[in-house]
């Protein structure tokens, strides 16, 4: 009997601790979507779910770009870049979920022009003109000198715009011909 009495105080200490111990927390965080591809400066909405705790709040972070309440905005990039968006449980900061984002540079559009060579003699080159309305007015694009070939790439176009082009021949006296037939180019967005 003495032996039982000796162990009794130990049991009295352990029983309340076992009865009132916090249940085992198994906090889990998930993020949706888990992957995304964005263009430079683009954005995407992410959502997070937290289970295993009544506190479902998360703290958002990103390795590059910004994220506010799950809305991620990619930075401007000149080459393909990988970024990570993370949702971390505020009740258990060791638990988080991460999404992988591929950021592509903004699409750089261009318009490729080509035309048949002039059959006139004494032609030394061509001037390229562009306008934003059919029939003009047009502005000269090749301000650095005559174009010697019958191809030209306009890299100064903007997404979502429509442009109208004409070509003029230039002879060895520096005289320009009239406008060629007009051609139209519609630049896609973005």
pLDDT in tens, 62-106: 999 999 999 999 998 888 899 999 999 999 999 999 999 999 887
How many whole angstroms separate alpha carbon 75 and alpha carbon 84? 12
Residue span of the structural domain in which 73 resides:
27-104
Other CB atoms within 10 Å distance of the CB of residue 57: 12
Pairing of strands 111-114, 81-89: unpaired
Pair 76, 106: CB distance under 8 Å: yes
Say yes or no: 98 and 159 in one domain. Answer: no
Determine the pLDDT at residue 25. 66
Where among 60, 76, 104 does a domain terminate?
104
CA geometry: angle 90, 95, 100, nearest 5 deg: 105
3-state secondary structure of 20: coil
How many whole angstroms separate alpha carbon 70 and alpha carbon 148? 54
Residue 10: both structure tokens together: 């130990």
Say yes or no: 50 and 99 in one domain. Answer: yes
Low-confidence ranges of the chain (pLDDT < 70): 1-25, 107, 190
CATH number at residue 146: 2.60.40.10
Query: What is the phi-psi region of residue 18: left when phi exceeds 0, alpha when psi lies from -120 to 50, beta otherwise?
Result: alpha
Determine the pLDDT at residue 1. 47
In a domain, 19, yes or no: no
Where among 104, 136, 151 does a domain terminate?
104
Please state the domain count of the chain. Answer: 2
Pair 159, 111: CB distance under 8 Å: no
Determine the pLDDT at residue 42. 86
Determine the pLDDT at residue 114. 96
Q: Is the peptide bond before 190 cis (omega within 30 degrees of 0)?
A: yes
């Amino acid at each position: 009997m003495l032996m039982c009495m000796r162990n009794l105080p130990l049991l009295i200490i352990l029983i309340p601790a076992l009865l009132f111990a916090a249940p085992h927390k198994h906090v889990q965080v998930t993020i949706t979507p888990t992957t995304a591809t964005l263009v430079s400066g683009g954005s995407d909405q992410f959502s997070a779910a937290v289970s295993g705790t009544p506190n479902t709040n998360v703290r958002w972070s990103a390795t590059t770009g910004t994220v506010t309440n799950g809305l991620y905005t990619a930075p401007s990039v000149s080459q393909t870049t990988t970024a990570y968006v993370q949702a971390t449980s505020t009740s258990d900061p060791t638990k988080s979920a991460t999404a992988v984002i591929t950021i592509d540079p903004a699409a750089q559009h261009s318009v490729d022009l080509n035309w048949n060579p002039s059959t006139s003699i004494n032609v030394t080159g061509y001037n390229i003109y562009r306008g934003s309305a059919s029939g003009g007015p047009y502005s000269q694009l090749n301000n650095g000198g005559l174009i010697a070939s019958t191809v030209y790439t306009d890299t100064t176009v903007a997404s979502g715009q429509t442009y109208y082009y004409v070509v003029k021949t230039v002879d060895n006296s520096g005289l320009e011909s009239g406008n060629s037939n007009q051609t139209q180019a519609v630049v896609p967005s973005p």
